[in-house]
Amino acid sequence: MDGANLLSKCLKEQGVEYMFGVVGFPIIEVGVAAQSHGIKFIACRNEQAACYAAQAIGYLTRKPAVCLVVSGPGLLHAIGGLANATVNCWPVICIGGSSDLDQEGRGAFQEWPQVESARLYCKYVSRPITLQAIPLHVEKAVRSCMYGRPGAVYLDIPGNLVLSSIEEEKIPSAAKVPLPGPVSVPPSSILQSAMNTIQQARKPLVVIGKGLLVNIEVLLDKIIYNDILCRSMASARSFALRECDCIVLIGARLNWILHFGLPPRFSTDLKVVQIDISAEEFHQNLPTSVPLLGDIGETLSTLINYAGDWKFDENSKWMKDLITNAEANRLANKCFIEIEVFNSLKYLNVSRYFFRQTVETMAADHTIPLNYYAAYTPIREFLAQNDVIVINEGANTMDIGRTMMPSTLPRRRLDAGTFGSTMGVGQGYALAAALFCRDYTPTTKVLVVQGDSAFGFSGMELETIARYKLPVVTVIFNNSGIYRGLLPEDMKAVDGDPTLQLV
């Protein structure tokens, strides 16, 4: 058996179903072999998009998927995707072909220190140097990307291994990685302490991370399930964060998204009860009052048993204040959204001001150029009637999309996520979502809403989506640029060389 087939066989046996990539020297045979072993191979236009697609399908299927790249520039193009997977805690295995071992350091074709390059962006990197080693390296790659906090791993395959052969009886076997991985729960004393802290809180707030797999509806007794049920306080976000005295973090991290947990967005004497799978996450930016180290689902269901018949008082002032604040923000003509406006055509030296405008008023305003809220309104209506995986990307397009396309089901929204506003994820995520829907949930639709700049980062993958006949609808909000875009008068104002004018 040759290396390409051995690698593919091992991946298949470990449960890999999808491989995205761009083939070429020295891994073209790996793509072919993968298909002959029943792994679906999707030939992308660029390694970065392939890596985004592989991690998105890993997140959606909860199984490891592969991004296959060629040596040197192939791997380097995928690096952004690897970083994105690790920051978002999504599993992905990148397999990179590399120069033949005996050419190392001699100026080989596309030679690059690939293992060192990938290390910073991955949980784990490895390079088998014999065919016998491949089964164990694949096993560890799968285990590393899926167990604990998921993330990216890199497997470097020297070109000479791909075509050389080994007798089958000489191949050592590797155990199949049990998935999902083993889980743990915190000791009972810590669980009791967490429940005491929650029960003593006068103004508790629960914040849930996007990776939570458990059925939160059952576990939290329908208290908090999605963005739009009335018990969700998303509409009272600023008030709830500022006023709460105890925050229960369920898989969410105290990073930029939650303003690091610090004043003035939070009170100074905030108590933090945190459930996380990774011990390093505790005491991040401020001390954790009760760190619950363990699997989120198991820990949560165990913790709820400690509550007995206790429930937070529905009639407390805190609940009333939250509901009042949230409803005030939701109501027509009072649903204020901050919209950033530049008072100058120039991006530099702009003095910004904020004005408040009602969503409904703007949604009804169909003057040209169409504003975001008016453009989003038919989309919002479509989403209310259909089960859709939404991919949302852009600056204003994404920010306003969060308001106008509320999530109602888990794992139905893919956007830039924890990293910030990574542009380029859109069409790769759409490719993955479309395959996921085709193979697992055929009645679910895939809708991409992207800014025009965002689309430009990975637009060629639209061809990939079309080539595989996948049903994806892409809507582009075209304002001729980033954030505010360009108006026709801006274009007219360009006088001479456009590269010298900050329009």
Ligand X SMILES: Cc1ncc(C[n+]2csc(CCOP(=O)(O)OP(=O)(O)O)c2C)c(N)n1
Query: Where on the chain is the footprint of Mg ion (CB under 5 A)?
Result: 451-453, 479, 485
Single-letter code of the amino acid located at 116: E
C-beta neighbour count of 494 within 10 angstroms: 12
179 binds ligand X per the rule CB under 6 A: no
In the list 19, 395, 435, 465, the residue contacting ligand X (rule: CB under 6 A) is 395
In the list 158, 424, 428, 459, the residue contacting ligand X (rule: CB under 6 A) is 424
Instruction: Please tell me the count of residues contacting ligand X according to CB under 6 A.
Output: 17
408 binds ligand X per the rule CB under 6 A: no
* Closest distance to ligand X from the beta carbon of 373 (Å): 12
Angle between helices 73-88 and 47-61 (to 10 degrees): 30
In the list 15, 24, 410, 485, the residue contacting ligand X (rule: CB under 6 A) is 485
* Closest distance to ligand X from the beta carbon of 391 (Å): 13
Name which of 365, 413, 423 is nearest 388 in CA terms: 413
392 binds ligand X per the rule CB under 6 A: no
**CA-CA distance, 447 to 380, in Å (whole number)?**
11
Strands (E) across 284-386 are located at 290-293, 336-342, 352-358
Q: Beta strand 336-342 with 352-358: parallel, antiparallel or unpaired?
A: antiparallel
With CB cut-offs between 5 and 8 Å by kind, which of ligand X, Mg ion, none does residue 151 bind? none
- Asked if 214 and 296 count as a contact pair (C-beta separation under 8 A), the reply is yes
Element (H, E) at 156: strand 152-158
- Which single residue brings its beta carbon nearest to Mg ion? 451
371 binds ligand X per the rule CB under 6 A: no
DSSP state of 172: P
With CB cut-offs between 5 and 8 Å by kind, which of ligand X, Mg ion, none does residue 204 bind? none
How far is Cα of residue 52 from the mean position of the Cα atoms in its chain?
9
**CA-CA distance, 167 to 430, in Å (whole number)?**
41
With CB cut-offs between 5 and 8 Å by kind, which of ligand X, Mg ion, none does residue 15 bind? none
Total count of residues recorded for the chain:
503
Bridge partners, residue 95, by sequence: 68, 155
* Closest distance to ligand X from the beta carbon of 95 (Å): 24
In the list 103, 255, 421, 444, the residue contacting ligand X (rule: CB under 6 A) is 421
C-beta neighbour count of 244 within 10 angstroms: 23
- CA distances 271 to 246, 247, 274, 480, Å, are 4, 6, 10, 46
Q: Which CB atom, from 135 or from 451, has the smaller least distance to ligand X? A: 451
Look up tokens 């697992």; give the residue.
440
Q: Which CB atom, from 90 or from 477, has the smaller least distance to Mg ion? A: 477
474 binds ligand X per the rule CB under 6 A: no
* Closest distance to ligand X from the beta carbon of 49 (Å): 12
Q: Which CB atom, from 396 or from 444, has the smaller least distance to ligand X? A: 396
Dihedral pair phi/psi, residue 119, rounded to 5°:
-55, -40
How far is Cα of residue 190 from the mean position of the Cα atoms in its chain?
30
Name which of 464, 458, 398 is nearest 431 in CA terms: 464
Look up tokens 């690059």; give the residue.
112
81 binds ligand X per the rule CB under 6 A: no
With CB cut-offs between 5 and 8 Å by kind, which of ligand X, Mg ion, none does residue 423 bind? ligand X
- Which single residue brings its beta carbon nearest to ligand X? 451
Following DSSP, what letter does each residue of 312-328 receive, concatenated?
--TTSHHHHHHHHHHHH
With CB cut-offs between 5 and 8 Å by kind, which of Mg ion, ligand X, none does residue 395 bind? ligand X
Q: Which CB atom, from 118 or from 448, has the smaller least distance to Mg ion? A: 448
Q: Which CB atom, from 377 or from 396, has the smaller least distance to ligand X? A: 396
Question: Taking contact as CB under 6 A, which single stretch among the options 155-163, 206-214, 353-361, 474-482 is the one that binds ligand X?
Answer: 474-482
In the list 138, 423, 430, 446, the residue contacting ligand X (rule: CB under 6 A) is 423
394 binds ligand X per the rule CB under 6 A: yes
Contact string (CB under 6 A) for ligand X, positions 431-470, x = contact: --------------------xxxx----------------
With CB cut-offs between 5 and 8 Å by kind, which of ligand X, Mg ion, none does residue 483 bind? ligand X
State the number of CA atoms in the 13 A half-sphere of 267 facing the CB: 15
- Asked if 93 and 64 count as a contact pair (C-beta separation under 8 A), the reply is yes
Instruction: Give the footprint of ligand X on this chain (CB under 6 A).
Output: 394-397, 421-424, 451-454, 477, 479, 482-483, 485
